[in-house]
Structure 1
Amino acid sequence: MASMSKITTFFNDNAESLAVEIVESVLRSMKIVIPEVEKEQAIKMYIEFFGFLGESLTEKKDGVPEDLIIWSKKNAEQQISSGGKISEIAVRYPPTRRIFAELLTRICIEFGLSLKENAYMIKKVNEMLDLSLNETIFTFEYLANSYREKAQREIAELSAPIVLIKEGIAVLPLIGMIDCYRATYILEKVVPDIANLHIQYLIVDYSGILTIDADIAKYLRQIGDILLLLGINVMITGLRPELVITVVNSRIDMSAIKTFANVKQALEYIE
Structure 2
Amino acid sequence: MSVSVTLQVSERILDQKEQIAMQITKAQNKKYSIELKDKTEQLFPLRVELVSIYAKALALEEVEAEKSIEAWGLETGRLCARLETTLDSMLGEVPHYRTYIGEVLKEVAMEQELSLQEFYDLISKLDHTMNLVVYYFSVPFVEYQTNLLEQSRNEILELSAPVVPIMEGVAVLPLIGTIDTYRAKMIMEESLKQSVHLRLNYFVLDLSGVPIVDTFVIQQIFQIIEALRLVGVEARVSGIKPEIALSVVKLDINFNKVKTYSTLKQALADLVIHC
Do they fold alike, i.e. is TM over 0.5?
yes
Shift in Å at residue 210 of structure 1?
A: 4.4
Shift in Å at residue 103 of structure 1?
A: 2.8
Q: Which residue of 1 aligns with 2:44?
A: 39
Q: Which residue of 2 aligns with 1:19?
A: 17
Q: Which residue of 1 aligns with 2:151?
A: 150
Gaps of 5+ in 2: 32-36
Shift in Å at residue 228 of structure 1?
A: 2.8
The verdict on how the C-alpha distance between 1:211 and 1:81 changes in structure 2, with shifts beyond 3 A counting, is farther
The verdict on how the C-alpha distance between 1:42 and 1:245 changes in structure 2, with shifts beyond 3 A counting, is farther
CA contact (8 A) 1:45 1:67 kept: no
Shift in Å at residue 166 of structure 1?
A: 1.3
The verdict on how the C-alpha distance between 1:10 and 1:139 changes in structure 2, with shifts beyond 3 A counting, is closer
Tell me the C-alpha RMSD between the 2 structures. Answer: 2.9
CA contact (8 A) 2:201 2:233 kept: yes
Shift in Å at residue 173 of structure 1?
A: 1.7
CA contact (8 A) 2:178 2:210 kept: yes
Residue 36 of structure 1 aligns to which amino acid in structure 2?
A: E
Please state whether the residue corresponding to 2:162 is helix, strand or coil.
coil
CA contact (8 A) 2:161 2:190 kept: no
Q: Identity of counterpart residues, as a percentage?
A: 26
Shift in Å at residue 148 of structure 1?
A: 1.9
State TM-score, norm by structure 1: 0.82
1:8 aligns with 2:7: yes
User: Alignment partner for residue 54 of structure 1, among 51, 54, 59?
Assistant: 59
- Matched residue pairs, number? 265
For residues 44-193 of structure 1, the aligned pairs below 5 Å read: 44-56=49-61, 63-64=65-66, 66=68, 69-70=71-72, 73-82=75-84, 84-193=85-194
Residue 267 of structure 1 aligns to which amino acid in structure 2?
A: L
Summarize deviations over 1:167-217 as a string: whole Å, max 9, x none: 222111223332222222232343133134333321111223344553343
> In structure 2, how many angstroms separate the alpha carbons of the residues matched to 1:94 and 1:251?
63
Residue 49 of structure 2 aligns to which amino acid in structure 1?
A: K
Shift in Å at residue 143 of structure 1?
A: 1.0
> In structure 1, how many angstroms separate the alpha carbons of the residues matched to 2:105 and 2:134?
20
Shift in Å at residue 36 of structure 1?
A: 3.0
State TM-score, norm by structure 2: 0.81
> In structure 1, how many angstroms separate the alpha carbons of the residues matched to 2:240 and 2:157?
20
